[in-house]
Structure 1
Amino acid sequence: MELALPLRDRFLQLLKQVLPNLTSDSVLYHLIALCTILLFAATLYFVCRWLLIIQISAWVKRSKNSLDDTMYSHGLFRRLLHLIPALTIFLLTSVLLQPESLLNGFLNKTSMLYMLLATMAAIYALLNTVEDKYNESRLAQKASITGFIQVAKLFVAIVVLLLSVSLVIDKSPLIIVSGLTALAAVLLLIFRDTILGFVAGIQITANRMFNTGDWIQINKFEVDGEIQEIGLTNVKVQNWDKTISTLPTYSLTNEAVKNWRGMQQSGGRRIKRAIFIDVHSIRLCSGDMLERFGKIRFISEYIEQKIEELRTYHKDSSIDESDLLNARRLTNIGTFRAYLEAYLRKHPQVNQSLTLMVRQLPPSELGLPLEIYCFSADKDWVRYEKIQADIFDHVLAMLPQFDLRAFQRDTHQAAVMPISQQ
């Protein structure tokens, strides 16, 4: 203040050379001082911006570190430059204007609000830089920090808002906070999704439940696609039909969500599909059928082994092989099941290290379900569907070779027609 007084007097004396009757409490003096302060602050800002931006941009281009490039692209340096005019206005106000003047108080508060907003903008740019650098790392595939960055931005915004309000009304921020406790219920309703999203974000990150790029499926919201972004309040999912679904973050922890990450990280993708066999086509194998089946490469050894096994059993048990009630016989459905398993064991696109079986399910009015349960060696969706289709093309085409027939509702006439006539 002692330094400001002689500077103010010198400024006034300088003006009196042009306006002899000018006083420091006149409206004209305040208008001239205001224009001088704003003009000086704007000039200093543009000069510093021109000098610093040129120097900073040249330094960024020369630097091999990508961190400064990210900070520059998010405008961190440009936002910090706004502190220069804010500080200039704050300092010149106390120098050129009397402390008790209304303009002094207005400019002081305005410059401080300007500094708060510039600081908040710079912090936002810094947080964006941190998020971008994190997303470039491998850790981003395991856990997203977008939600935490948004929480940090929200916290900064709340602090700046409290400080701004306290500055305008000349009250301590603690008094404002204590007064807000009465509005706690209203605030909880307003920030319900934010609070729930923050808690869900902590659970998701701590337990590594979901990551960006995961394929999720939520039947309730008709969501089926890859996670594009996990935010504080919303999750963005791109469905396979290229539509975008946005849902609350807390729905990932509150709803039934299927995450296909385990399949993507495993050695294959499951094939689990059944065909319905017409029960009228199931029969015991005759000698001619066994002779014909024995020529099939995949089950020739199986047929020989089973025939020898049955002969030994009948001999040891003194059972006549022609006795249909007491003798053991092979069936075409059982032989076909053995063929399919042998076929899958030799299939180059089926993962042999994971579960592989061909099983019967409980029969129904649609026939006897024969289910293939295995895993493809390729997890890509398009190639997976091709592998699965090729397998079942072969399965359906081989049914007549075992005197079997697939059931379908619109072929009721074929169901009563002898196989030999088809």
Structure 2
Amino acid sequence: MQETKVIDSIQSRTVQAETLDAIQSGDSYRHIILEYLTKQGVSENTAEYLNMFGLLLILLIAMFLLYFVIRKILVKAFSQFASASKTNFDDLLVTNKVPRNIAHIIPLLVAMEFTPIIFKDFPNFDGVIEKGLQVFAIVLTLWIVRSFLNTLKDYFKTLPRLKDKPIDSYIQVFMIFAWVAGFMSAIAIITDTPFIKFLTALGAASAVIILVFKDTILGFVASIQVSINDMVRIGDWITFEKYGADGDVTEINLATVKVQNFDKTITTIPTYALISDSFKNWRGMVNSDGRRIKRSISIKLDSVHYLTKEQLETLSGIQIINPYLKQRQADIDTYNSEYNIDKTMLLNGRNLTNLGVFRKYAQTYIEKHSAINKEMTIMVRQLAPTAQGIPIEIYAFSNDKRWANYEYIMADIFDHLIAALPYFNLELFELPSGSSFTLKP
């Protein structure tokens, strides 16, 4: 009697253990549909396939509902936290869909946990599905990384000290490394190759890889050099004649630099061109205290002559150079008297010329001009004579650096100087036109 009880006890424990194993392995619910279909007279083979598709459908529905609930919770939590937070970083996380991408993680883990149970009777399908889920896990990781990096990019662009830095280039470099690593990992999973062996085999093809990614590598090197050497910043005004660019830099990324020209067109320049070719960056002018005026007017050679006493008396009526003429003429008269110079001919001794007096007038006029920066170089100089006359160059800096105002200031100065030439008996050089050959009655 006691032996029978012992045997029954052992059998009961065995059944409990088998039941527990069945529950743990999923058999307790994996065959629910199978058993029902078998009882309904469906063939065993067909019942197994229908059982698999049924469980797969249940899993997909459960995953969708789980994703939907988790996404709602995460998005709502992030949105509430963002509205209460002072920084805009969390707002950008929501904008770049970081919570939505993170919400895929738990459904994916559930799928990876229950897929082996669903496809236990179909090992061929099980291997393919598991590899597919692992590849999807890599893709999901890349999505999350990309969303987070885009968030960092948008956040860094809001910081004043980083607004002019090529943030896009750095983010693109990280994304390229992430995509390459993800692609290699996916290939290693699909081919059942250990990742280390896959990298070793890939090293043999490095020459081909370098050739394929040549532009990317050059752009990456150029971005680093541009940033380290502070050659170009976002917002800089640059002139790149080779590419027809003349405007403000709006974007610097790994492959290209975008310049919005002053006619509102967009010019795209290869990033590597910034270190391989010559271009002009106007940042120094923008950061300085003035914008340079450097323009000349050409005087006809045959209009230049010595000034007589009568002409000097006439020019003395010009107020801004009256003190100069008096002092200068007194010095000349003293010199000529001291050395007994014969002034019956103007060429003898020292004399004033109408061009020299005009240069002094132009210098004084610009020095007194309200729109000219008096702390920077102011110069009126005579350049070498050419076939178009004697160039008189104005070299100064305007206080206002805005383009329209700068052009107005420069035009105002030259309008005045050109109109002043006849008072000094000087003529502006110009090529003859049709009216120059017309006979006057």
Name the TM-score, length of structure 1 as normaliser. 0.93
Report the CA distance shift for 1:3/1:48 in structure 2 as closer, same or farther (over 3 A): farther
The 3-state SS of whatever aligns with 1:397 is: helix
Cα distance in 2 for partners of 1:60, 1:136 equals 16
Cross-structure match for 2:185: 163
**Pairing partner for 2:91 from 50, 62, 69:** 69
Give distance in 2, aligned partners of 1:64 and 1:411.
Answer: 70
Name 1:325's counterpart in structure 2. Answer: 347
**Higher mean Cα deviation, 275-284 or 47-56?**
47-56
8 Å CA contact retained: 1:142, 1:208: no
1:110 to 111, 119, 132: 132
Comparing 388-397 with 50-59, which one deviates more in the overlay? Answer: 50-59
Q: CA deviation at 1:99?
A: 8.2
Structure 1 range deviating more: 60-69 or 210-219 = 60-69
Give the counterpart of 1:83 among 85, 94, 105.
Answer: 105
Q: 1:123 aligns with which of 145, 162, 171?
A: 145
In the alignment, is residue 247 of structure 1 matched against residue 265 of structure 2? no
Q: Which has the larger displacement, 328-337 or 159-168? A: 159-168
* Alpha-carbon separation, structure 1, partners of 2:121 and 2:239: 65
Counterparts of 1:263 and 1:396, CA distance in 2: 27
Tell me the equivalent position of 2:32: 14
Task: Give the drift of 1:351.
Answer: 1.0
Would you say the 8 A contact 1:5–1:95 is kept in 2?
no
Distance in 2, Cα, partners of 1:124 & 1:163 = 17
Q: How many angstroms apart in 1 are the aligned matches of 2:272 and 2:172?
A: 15
| 1:418 alignment counterpart | none
Q: Say whether residues 1:296 and 2:318 are aligned partners.
A: yes
Within the candidate set 321, 325, 329, 1:307 is matched to 329
Aligned-partner Cα distance in 1 for 2:31–2:131: 28
SS of residue paired to 2:289: coil
Determine the structure 1 residue equivalent to 2:361: 339
Q: How far apart are the structure 2 equivalents of 1:141 and 1:35? A: 50
Q: Give the CA deviation at 1:68.
A: 0.5
1:99–1:190 distance in 2 versus 1, CA, 3 Å: farther
| 1:100 CA drift (Å) | 6.7
**Residue 224, structure 1, aligned to residue 246, structure 2:** yes
Write out aligned runs for 1:9-408 (5 A): 9-16=27-34, 18-20=36-38, 26-98=48-120, 101-408=123-430
Q: Deviations over 1:266-301 (max 9, x none)?
A: 111111111110011111111121111111111011
Structure 2 letter corresponding to 1:67: F
Counterpart code for 2:390? L
| Contact 1:82 1:115 (8 Å CA) reproduced | no
CA RMSD of aligned residues (A): 2.3
TM-aligned CA distance change 1:413 to 1:317, over 3 Å = farther
Q: Is the 8 A contact 2:164 2:235 kept in 1?
A: no
CA distance in 1, matches of 2:120, 2:31: 15
- Structure number with greater Rg is 2
Secondary structure in structure 2 of the residue aligned to 1:220: helix
**Could you say what secondary structure the match of 2:79 adopts?**
helix
SS in structure 1 at match of 2:26 = helix
Separation of aligned partners in 2, 1:29 and 1:233: 53
Is 142-151 or 332-341 further displaced after alignment? 142-151
Question: Contact 2:30/2:55 (CA < 8 Å) preserved in 1?
Answer: no
Q: 1:265 to 1:117 in 2, by over 3 A?
A: same
Secondary structure (helix, strand or coil) at the match of 2:397 reads strand
Aligned AA (1:402): F
Greater CA drift, 184-193 or 290-299: 184-193
C-alpha distance in 2 between matches for 1:315 and 1:168? 106
The residue aligned with 2:17 is none
How many pairs does the alignment contain? 416
Distance 1:142 1:43, change over 3 A: closer
**1:276 and 1:406 in contact (8 A); partners too:** yes
Q: Distance in 2 between matches of 1:281 and 1:13?
A: 113
Percent identity, aligned pairs only, is 36
Unaligned runs of 5+ in 2: 1-19
Equivalent residue of 1:311, what SS? helix
Name the SS for the 2:27 alignment partner.
helix
Partner Cα separation in structure 2 for residue 212 and residue 341 of structure 1 = 38
For the residues of structure 2 that align with 1:240 and 1:285, how far apart are their CA atoms? 48
Unaligned runs of 5+ in 1: 416-422
Kindly provide the CA deviation profile for residues 72-104 of structure 1, in whole angstroms up to 9, marking residues without a partner as x.
111111111111221111011134432871222
Instruction: State the alpha-carbon separation in 2 of the partners of residues 95 and 59 from structure 1.
Output: 39
Greater shift in the superposed pair: 338-347 or 178-187: 178-187
CA-CA distance at 1:60 after TM superposition? 2.1
